[in-house]
Amino acid sequence: MRSPYRGRASSRLVSIVLCLWLLTMVVIVSGCGGDAQTQQQASQKQTQLDQLLRHARQIGVPSALLGSIVQQEQAVASTHPPISPFNDKPTNNYYQSQATRYEQLSVQVRGIITSTTDRYRSLAQQNMQNLQVAVAQRRAHGLPVQSFSQQVDQDQSMLAVAKEPKDYALLSSNANMAMQSLALMQSISEQLTTLKHAIDRMQTAHLDVTVMSAQYQSDQQKLASIVKPLEFEQLGILVDAQYQQAIVNTTQAVPFISAAKLGELEAQLTQLQSYGMDTGVYQKRLNADRAMMQKTSSIQDYTTFSSRVDADMAAMHSDLLRGQANVLVKQFHREVSAWSNAHMYLDPNDGVSYPLDAGYMSQGIGDDLDSALAAAITTTDFQAVVDEVNSALFNLHMMKENYNNHTAYDQVHATDTTLLNHYNLQKRQVLMVSLVEQAMRIYQNGKLVSSYLITGGRVELPALPGVWPVLDRLSPTTFKSPEPKGSPYWYPDTPIHYAIMYHAGGYFVHDSWWRVDYGPGTQFPHVDSGGDQSFAGDGSHGCINMQEQQAQWVYDNTDWNTMIVIY
């Protein structure tokens, strides 16, 4: 017979084993979970990363720049904590590593936001500068650019408050669209000129030009009011259609318009020859067109003849602009070199002669013109080079004229007035900088309100002549050298109180607390009477330096719509 005590002992053993098993499982479970606070920290870091990524997309950072970060985050999130039954440390280390990795990715996202913002800001500043220059050039050619001037003013106001990549992207888009429109405006202006020539010839022949003249006036008004590329394209089509329809309705006009067409082609050919370019192919086309004109009697004949001459003129147009651009760039360099050689500045400090027109030489805008010409491909590109060189030549001539003007620097100069009129800046606020005088005169609506002596760029890094918009306003800021340490142009981080950017690439009008002396000759090596000689013994790095209180006045009394003219 089995003992009752044996059954009780067996039952107690089972109970003991069960208790030990449960205790072990508790230990295992608690060991796998790790510290709850550590897990929560990892989760919070991931949430912060996700929020930062959403923020980056919302402010305009392209998703392509964030793709690598997203992939790395997914890789981190897809891992699992280690199983460690009796020790929380491996699990805690895992979550701590996760938190660290998420934080590192967040740092990278912040870096991408900063670099993208800086890049988009620089691009917007460059595009705004290009647009302002193009508007000034079209205005100087007599084109109706008032609508574009208003757009530039509006965009300048937007630039003043822009902070995010999407803000700068919108400004770049606006500027690029306006540049397209300005190129089309130039083309349509040429169409209207052709129409006007035809009207004049018909009028000379005592033909009725009432309808054509009314259409011409209407087209001129529309040219002054539109701003979008599509609107210009539609106007161009309209002008061409009006021209053709007027001829169809006036049979008597055929011989006069034919002669006008051929005359324009002959004039272009003569101009092309003056540029030293091969005209053999175009001469053959002209001869063929001249023979065709002799047989032109009906509207249908004229339509065929007109289309052929238009095609020949269009084919020649690109070569004309290419030839003109090359000739003008060479002329510019010759004038700059000739004037420089005849007007060197003998520096009493080191006995070396320095050029006074360094801003126009290769180290200044001369290299920019060469680069633009070398990169030009399309008709629009060559037209832009022609416009840019013509403006540079005009400013150079103003500098030459001002060199011979002995009016005191704080008085109105005739060249200032000419520049204000040429660029239609009589109703604007303008910082007028004379490089030969090393002086700035501030004009408000054509009236002189203040004047200061300045220090411009050294010969190797001159200030850049031109008509420039305000691209940034900083007060205070710190200038950081773009050159590496050891370069002769390197400088330590430098605090600046008042800075107005006038050209993309870091060209500013700003205070220079390290100088005492300003005015003629201070852009060359010299001994400053009381400044820091490590900074003050030469010109700037392309900036316009001013005494601090004067720079403060300029900063406080100007805004984003102020223009900077340097000549």
The set of residues, in sequence order, having a beta carbon less than 8 Å from that of 237 and lying 6+ positions away, is: none
Q: What's residue 33's pLDDT?
A: 60
| Token output for 240 | 């061409």
Residue 301 — pLDDT band, cuts 50, 70, 90? confident
Give yes or no for residue 390 having a pLDDT over 90.
yes
What's the mean per-residue pLDDT of the chain?
A: 91
Q: Which two tokens stand for residue 233?
A: 């394209």
Q: What counts of helices (H) and strands (E) characterise the chain?
A: 16, 13
DSSP string, 231-262: HHHHHHHHHHHHHHHHHHT-GGGHHHHHHHHH
At how many degrees (to 10) do helices 280-294 and 254-274 cross? 170
Task: Note the pLDDT tens digit of each residue in 459-495.
Answer: 999 999 999 999 999 999 999 999 999 999 999 999 9
pLDDT band at 288 (very low <50, low <70, confident <90, very high): very high
Question: Per DSSP, what are the bridge partners of residue 510?
Answer: 499, 545
Lowest mean pLDDT among 30-39, 48-57, 400-409, 508-517: 30-39
Strands 466-469 and 563-566: antiparallel
User: pLDDT at position 534, please?
Assistant: 82
pLDDT in tens, 213-253: 999 999 999 999 999 999 999 999 999 888 877 766 666 66
* pLDDT beyond 60 at 391: yes
pLDDT at position 17 = 47
Q: How far apart, in whole angstroms, are the C-alpha atoms of residue 126 and residue 132?
A: 10
Alpha carbon 562 to its chain centroid, in Å, reads 17
Angle at CA of residue 365, ends 360 and 367, nearest 5°: 110
Convert 493-531 into a string of H (helix), E (strand) and C (coil): CEEECCEEEEECCCEEEEECCCCCCCCCCCCCCCCCCCC
Contact status, residue 313 vs residue 264, Cβ threshold 8 Å: yes
Beta bridge partners of 479: 494
Nearest C-alpha neighbor of 56 from the set 48, 43, 66, 47: 66
Q: What topology does CATH give the domain 409-566?
A: L,D-transpeptidase catalytic domain-like (2.40.440)
Angle between helices 254-274 and 299-342 (to 10 degrees): 30
Cβ atoms of residues 495 and 505 within 8 Å: no
520-549 tens-digit pLDDT: 999 999 999 998 878 899 999 999 999 999
pLDDT computed for residue 481 by the predictor: 95
315: amino acid identity, one letter: A
Identify which has the larger pLDDT, 17 or 223.
223
* Backbone φ and ψ of 172, nearest 5°: -65, -40
d(CA 386, CA 373): 9
233-251 core/surface letters (b: 16 or more CB in 10 A; e: else): eebbebbeebbeebbeebe
pLDDT tens track for 61-120: 999 999 999 999 999 999 999 887 778 899 999 999 999 999 999 999 999 999 999 999
Q: At what angle do helices 36-58 and 63-77 cross, to 10 degrees?
A: 170
Whose structure tokens read 């607390």?
Answer: 513
Give the torsion sign (CA, 74, 77, 82, 83).
Answer: negative
What separation in angstroms does the CA of 414 have from each of 402, 408, 556?
Answer: 8, 12, 27
- Say if strands 429-434 and 439-444 run parallel, antiparallel, or are unpaired: antiparallel
- The stretch 196-201 carries a mean pLDDT of 83
Domain ranges of the chain: 1-31, 409-566
Per-residue pLDDT at 290 exceeds 70? yes
Integer angstrom CA distances of residue 190 from 143, 182, 223, 336, 511: 11, 13, 12, 31, 46
Residues 6+ apart with CB under 8 A from 10: none
How far is 207 from 310, CA to CA, in rounded Å? 24
Distance (Å, whole) CA 490 – CA 484: 6
Say how far apart CA 355 and CA 344 lie, in whole Å: 5
What is the pTM for the complete model shown? 0.84
Q: Would you state the pLDDT for residue 285?
A: 92
Does the pLDDT value for residue 401 go beyond 60?
A: yes
